[in-house]
Amino acid sequence: MSGRYLVTGGAGFVGSHLVAALLDRGDKCVVLDNYSTGHRGGVLPDAHAIELDLVDVAALDRVLADGPWDAVFHFAALSLVGESMREPMRYLGDNYGNGVRLVDACVRHGVNRFVLSSTAALFGRPTTPRLDEESPIEPVSPYGESKWLIERALAWADRIHGLRYATLRYFNAAGSDPAGRLGEAHNPETHLIPLVIDTALARRPELVVFGNDYDTPDGTCIRDYVHVADLADAHLLALTQLDRGSVAYNLGNGGGASVMEVIRSVERVSGLQVPYRITGRRAGDPAILVADPGRIVRETGWSPRFAALDDIVRTAFAWRSAHPFGYDNSDTKPASPA
């Protein structure tokens, strides 16, 4: 039986891919987005898009009153760690404020299933090689803190109002829709894989590598890149767990790739050279961030389809080389040199 879902931030990178997964299995989907970072072209035509800012509680109430909703997925958020270090109150205020307003509205309108797009950034500095759900939570950025605060608000909404929730802590979301409908387009782009691809395509003169003196085999930072379509699958699987209670899952492949390995992967996949230059470390970057995804694998059978880095990069390369301007000309100009 098909369902009906509300997706905030459904025009953004991960949200748009979740919308695709819902539509592909025959569900109905309403997208809320203020398009501050999302793209109109990122909303597939079969979704019903409503332009709305979550500060507008009256508008949110009107949407939620038009139920019933099988669940609300909450992606809408500011999401750059570095930016949050420069604008902490904006991140805490916007992300936490919008999250709490949405949770409150869900409770008032009888929505009882909620899925939060959360982040590995709430773990802070890793003390073990792979982070599981029991790893100490100690955000080292306002971005991570803002997501943790929403997780706490959800815990209270569950305890007091019976709202069941899944909180999904993504490691490094990457790749793009295998069917080629959607991709990753931030403006400005700061994420490694799109930047390396743009460099391979000579849209940027060189990739700047932020430090090669970390305690890793090649000295560059290691991250757990996880395909955005696999993340979307994980959201659907997490929903199936809510009948037995709320859940938290760490979402990564359980293996890492260094910055240099990402460069080599893009070179293999594209057949092009990636000129790069080593510079100093970027503030706030831990040497290694890798997930232990054991819990979601055990509990839901989640099995990533794009676990290999080259497979992730291949989908990202296909979309980015076909969309030099992102979703449309007004959204994204070709990246300017770093």
Determine which residue in the list 169, 223, 227, 323 makes contact with ligand UDP, applying CB under 6 A.
223
Determine which residue in the list 141, 146, 167, 172 makes contact with ligand UDP, applying CB under 6 A.
172
Q: Map tokens 């230059």 to a residue.
A: 277
Q: Which residue is nearest to ligand UDP (CB)?
A: 221
Told to check if 81 binds ligand UDP by CB under 6 A, we report yes
Q: How far is the CB of 306 from ligand UDP (least distance, A)?
A: 17
Query: 73 in helix, strand or coil?
Result: strand
Q: How far is the CB of 275 from ligand UDP (least distance, A)?
A: 13
What are the distances in angstroms from CA 83 to CA 124, 278, 283?
16, 22, 11
- Give the integer Cα–Cα distance in Å for 204 and 321: 13
Q: How far is the CB of 320 from ligand UDP (least distance, A)?
A: 14
Q: How far is the CB of 247 from ligand UDP (least distance, A)?
A: 23
**Residues designated catalytic:** 143
- Give the integer Cα–Cα distance in Å for 72 and 214: 40
- Indicate the helix (H) or strand (E) that contains 49: strand 48-51
Peptide bond into 324 cis (omega under 30): no
Told to check if 176 binds ligand UDP by CB under 6 A, we report no
Q: Are strands 48-51 and 207-210 parallel, antiparallel or unpaired?
A: unpaired
Which residue number, 83 or 285, has a Cβ lying nearer to ligand UDP?
A: 285
Q: How far is the CB of 81 from ligand UDP (least distance, A)?
A: 6
Q: How far is the CB of 157 from ligand UDP (least distance, A)?
A: 28
Which residue number, 209 or 248, has a Cβ lying nearer to ligand UDP?
A: 209
Q: Maximum Cα–Cα distance for the chain, whole Å?
A: 56
Which residue number, 13 or 114, has a Cβ lying nearer to ligand UDP?
A: 13
- Indicate the helix (H) or strand (E) that contains 160: helix 142-161
Q: Phi-psi bin for 251: left (phi > 0), alpha (psi -120 to 50), beta?
A: beta
245-264 footprint of ligand UDP as x/- string (CB under 6 A)? --------------x-----
Instruction: Determine the size of the site formed for ligand UDP (CB under 6 A).
Output: 14
Told to check if 185 binds ligand UDP by CB under 6 A, we report no
Q: How many CB atoms lie within 10 A of CB 125?
A: 10
Told to check if 226 binds ligand UDP by CB under 6 A, we report no
Q: Phi-psi bin for 254: left (phi > 0), alpha (psi -120 to 50), beta?
A: left
Using the 8-state DSSP alphabet, how is residue 291 labeled? B
Told to check if 241 binds ligand UDP by CB under 6 A, we report no
Among residue numbers 276 through 335, which ones bind ligand UDP (CB under 6 A)? 282, 285
Among residue numbers 195 through 214, which ones bind ligand UDP (CB under 6 A)? 195, 208-210
Q: Helix, strand, coil shares of the chain as percentages rounded to 5?
A: 40, 20, 45
What are the distances in angstroms from CA 59 to CA 52, 53, 62, 97?
7, 8, 5, 16
Determine which residue in the list 190, 212, 241, 270 makes contact with ligand UDP, applying CB under 6 A.
190
Which residue number, 20 or 195, has a Cβ lying nearer to ligand UDP?
A: 195
Q: Are strands 48-51 and 257-258 parallel, antiparallel or unpaired?
A: unpaired
- Residue ranges binding ligand UDP (CB under 6 A): 81, 172, 190-192, 195, 208-210, 221, 223, 259, 282, 285
